[in-house]
Amino acid sequence: MSGANASPREAQARQRAASNVDHSHQGMDAELRSLHIDRTPRSRGSKRVARGLFICISLAILTLAGYAVYATIAASIEVEIVRVATPSATRKSAGTVLHATGYVVAAHKIELATKVVGRVAWIGVDRGDIVREGQVLVRLEDDEYRARVMEAEGQIENLQARLTELENGSRPEEISRAGADADRMRADLANARIAQDRTRMLVSEGILSRQMLDDAEARHESLAAQVRSAENSYRLVRTGPRSEEIAAVRGLLRQAEGNVAFARNQLANSVIRAPISGTILERNVEKGEFVTTGFVGDRGAKGYVVSIADLRDLEVELDISQNDFAKVAQAQSAIVQLEAYPDRKYQARIKQISPEANRQKATIQVKVKILEPDELMRPDMSANVTFDTLDSPELEQSKSSHVEVPASAEREGTVFVVADGIAHRRSVNDLIGGEDVVLATKEKMRDGMRVKIKERER
C-alpha cells in the first residue's frame, strides 16, 4: 500500500514511531556526553595542594617508620650476667679421692669496734641487713667531743693573735709612751742629783745631819737604776720582739693545730661506718649501751658494735686427717654439697692449707673457696666436700687454652659480652677470662644492643 493511499490511523502510527526513535537517539547522546573525559587543564593552586598533601603524608610515614626502627634498636633488655673465671693451673682429675665434712665460713668476717669510748645514741642496722661501704651504722653521743673541738679551736685563735702581734712589732703609740717614761725618769734623776748636792753642802756646813745626806744619795741611786731600766725598755720597744720568742709562739701554734686535728678526728670517730659492703651477721649493742676500746666485761662495756661479712666470698673450713693429707694439694678442685640442700652442688677449689698441723687432733686445717655461692649459703652451715683424684703429685703449669662458660650463655659457639651497658657478640675461643657474659641469651639480642644488668640477690 502506497503512502498516498494510507489511512489516517496508519499515518499517526508512523509519526509516533519516528518520534520515539528521535527520543532514543537523544538519550544515547546524553549518556555518551556524560562519559566524555574532561581534558580541560586544572588550576595551578589545586596542583600545589595535592603535592603538599602527598609530601606531608610521606614525611609522617617515614617518621613513624624511623621511630619504630630506633625504638627497636635502642631499647634495652634486662639480662643476668656471670663473670668468666681466668684460666688457672689445674690438675688432671680422675675421679674422687677424698670425702670430708666441714662448716661454711665467711672468708673475711669483721667485728667492727669503736675507736672512741661513748654511749650509743643511735644504731641503724639489724641482723641480716645488707650495707654498703661507708654507710653509717652507729652514732655515739658526741657532746664531749664537740666541746673539745671548740676548746682546741679557741686556743688556736689565741695563739694566732699572739703571733700576729709579735710579727707586727710595737705600735708607734707604745714606742712614744716608752720614750716619755724614759724622759720622765731622767728628769727625776736630775732633780735628785741637785737635791743630793744641796744636802751634801748643808751637811758640810753642819746645818743638816749625815742621815739626810745618806737618804739623798740612796734616792739618787734608785732613780738612776730606774732610768737605766726605762731606757732599756724604750730600746726593746723600738727593736721589737726577739726571733726566738716568735719561733716559740709558732711552735705552740703548731701544737694547738695538732690538738684540733686530734679533737676533730675523735669527733668523726663517734660515727661508726661500714668498712666494706656486706651483710650484718650480729648486732652487739643497743641504744644507751656503753662501748669502749679497752677492757670488756661480761655485763659492762662492749668491745665491738656489729659483725659484718661479704656473703659472696664464702669458704668451707675442714680438718683433714694427717693420713689423708697426701691426697690434697693447693688449687685442687672439689664439689661442695650443703647438708640442708643435698641436691645442690657448688664448684670449689682449695684456697689455703694450714702450714702447721694440730697435734691434739692429728689434723691439718684446709679452706676450700666456693667459686659461685648463692643466697642459700649461710655461715656455719654444715657442708660435705668431695675432692677430685690427681693423676700426678704436681700441678700442670700450663694453663687451659680456653675458658669455660655456662651452657646457657653459649649459642652456636658465641656469647654476648657486656661492657659499658652494651652487649657485644664474641667467640668463646676469643675469651681470656674476666669478661661478663650474658646468661640465658635471648633470641632478640643483637650485637651492639643496649642491656640492663639484673642485680643478683645475695
pLDDT tens per residue, range 94-136: 467 889 999 999 998 999 999 999 999 999 999 999 999 999 9
**Which band of pLDDT confidence, cut at 50, 70 and 90, is reported for residue 442?**
low
Strand-pair category, 77-83 with 449-453: parallel
Q: From residue 112, how far is each of 122, 124, 313, 401 by CA, in Å?
A: 16, 14, 18, 43
C-alpha grid cell, residue 7:
489511512
Does the predicted TM-score (pTM) go above 0.75?
no
| CB burial string 114-146: b at 16+ within 10 A, e below | bebebebeebebeeeeebeeeeebbbbebeebe
Q: What percent of the chain has pLDDT over 90?
A: 36
Q: Which three cell numbers stand for residue 102?
A: 666441714
Label residue 19 exposed, middle or buried (CB < 10 Å: 0-12, 13-18, 19+): exposed
- Amino acid occupying residue 49: V
In this structure, which amino acid lies at residue 268?
A
pLDDT tens digit string along 315-334? 999 999 988 888 899 889 99
How high is the pLDDT of residue 382?
95
SS3 label, residue 257:
helix
pLDDT tens digits along 379-431? 999 999 999 875 444 444 434 445 677 777 787 778 888 887 788 888 887 77
- The CA distance from 172 to 174, in Å, is 5
Is 296 within 8 Å of 284 (Cβ atoms)? no
Tell me: the pLDDT tens digits for 48-70?
Answer: 767 777 788 878 888 777 666 55
User: What CATH number should be reported for the domain whose range is 170-240?
Assistant: 1.10.287
∠429-432-437 over CA atoms, to 5°? 80
The CA distance from 209 to 167, in Å, is 55
What is the band of 93 on the pLDDT scale with cuts at 50, 70, 90? very low
The band of 166, judged by pLDDT with boundaries at 50, 70 and 90, is confident
Please, what is the average pLDDT of the chain?
A: 81
User: What percent of the chain clears pLDDT 70, i.e. is strictly above it?
Assistant: 78
- CB contact at 8 A, 437 and 418: yes
User: Which cell numbers in the block locate residue 146?
Assistant: 664537740
Domain 110-141+270-309 is of which CATH architecture? Beta Barrel (2.40)
User: What pLDDT sits at residue 149?
Assistant: 96
- DSSP-assigned letters across all residues of 32-95: HHHTS---SPPPHHHHHHHHHHHHHHHHHHHHHHHHHHHHHHH--EEEEEEEPPPP-----EEE
Alpha helix (H) residue ranges in 240-317: 243-269
Q: Could you tell me the three cell numbers for 197? A: 748636792
So where are the chain's domains? 77-83+403-453, 93-107+311-390, 110-141+270-309, 170-240
- Over residues 3-21, the pLDDT tens digits come to 444 556 666 656 665 555 5
What CATH superfamily is the domain 93-107+311-390? Efflux pump adaptor protein, beta barrel domain (2.40.30.170)
Grid coordinates standing for 323?
Answer: 693420713
